[in-house]
Structure 1
Amino acid sequence: MTRYRYYTATTLDGFLADEHDSLDWLLSQPTGEDSILPYETFLADIGAIVAGRTTYQWVREHEGTVEGAWVFTQPTFLFTHRGLGEVPDGITAVSGDPADHRAALEAAADGKDVWIVGGGDLAAQFARAGMLDEVFVSIAPVTLGAGKPLLGGRVDLELLEHGINGALLEARYKVVGERA
C-alpha cells in the first residue's frame, strides 16, 4: 500500500528555509552515520515524488548534477499555481487539491511510497486531504526567527521513533489527522 511521507529538516524554531528560500543553515550542520532512517534507505522505498514550485526550483538550482537538472529519477509531480514553462521529462506539472491527483500519484509510485519533498504548505495540503501518513524530520540546532514554516497547518502527530544524527535530532511521526 502506498504511503505518503514527508521527509524533511527544520530549524529548532520550525522553519524549512529562511525568508529568501535559503537552506544554508541546513547545509552547515554536521551529520553522522547514526540516522534512524538513512536517506538512502528512505529513498529506496520511494516510487514517486511531489514537490512545490519553490522547492523544485531550489533543488534544480542547488542540487542538480548538471546545471539545472532535476536530481531524482522517480516520476515527479510538481504542484504549482504559476506556470513554469517547459518542464523536463519525468516531471508532470499539476495544480489543485492533492486528492484530485491521488490515482495518478499512486499509479506512478507503482506500489512504492510517495515522498512529499516540500514545502510545508504543500505537506499541509496533503494532510488536509488525508494523504499524509508519516513525517520524518531532522531538527537542526539553529533558529531563524522567520521563514518558510515546517508544516503550514494544524496537524496532530504521534511520535513513533527518535534519535540523534550528528548535530540533528531526528523524529519520525505517524500523522493522526488534521487538528480541528
Structure 2
Amino acid sequence: MTQEAAGRALPRLLPVTQSFPRPRLDDPRAATQRMVSDRLAELNARSGARVAIGVGSRGIRDIVPVVQATVTACRDAGLAPCIVPAMGSHGGGTAEGQRSVLEHLGITEEAVGAPIVSSQDVTTIGVTESGIPVSFDRTALDADFIVPINRVKPHTDFAGTHESGLCKMLAIGFANHAGCSRIHQEGF
C-alpha cells in the first residue's frame, strides 16, 4: 500500500535495524592482569622500578577492576606502582580536583591498592616544530615506566588524525593543566 503526498505516490517504507558486534570480556580484571603481566615480563624490569599508571577522566566501563589488575600485575612483578591522574584540565585543573574525579570513578588508594600522586607539577620536555612547549607530569616523568589506561573514542569537539586515546593522553592528559591549556590555545 502506498500513501500520497502532494499528489505523488510515496514508496513503501520498511523498518531497518543495524547491529554491530560488541565483543565483551567475561572477566576484564583477569584479562587485564594477564595482558599487563605478559608485557611486564617482556620488559625484564628491575625489582622496585617505579611505574606511573596514568588514569584519565574518560568513562571507561570497569575502570576500577582494570586499574586494580594493573596495580596487581605491577606488584606481582616486584614493581612499585602509583596512580597519576592524566586528565589535562579536567577536575578544574587542580591536584585536589583531579583526585576528586578519580574518587568519583571509584579509584581510591584503598580500592586499587596503590598511592595516588596528584600534582600539577610539570617539566618542559621539549618544544614542537611550531614552537609550542611540551610539558609532562613530573611524577610520571620520574617513573621508570608509564602505563596509560585509556579508551579510544571520537573527540566531542573536533575531528582529526589523533582525537582521543594514547596520543591525547600522553600529549595532553599528562601535560596537566598548564600544558593542556597551552595545547588547547593552539586549537587542539
- Shared fold (TM-score greater than 0.5)? no
Instruction: Identify, as 1 or 2, the structure richer in helix.
Output: 2
- Higher Cα Rg: structure 1 or 2? 2
The TM-score normalised by the length of structure 2 is 0.31
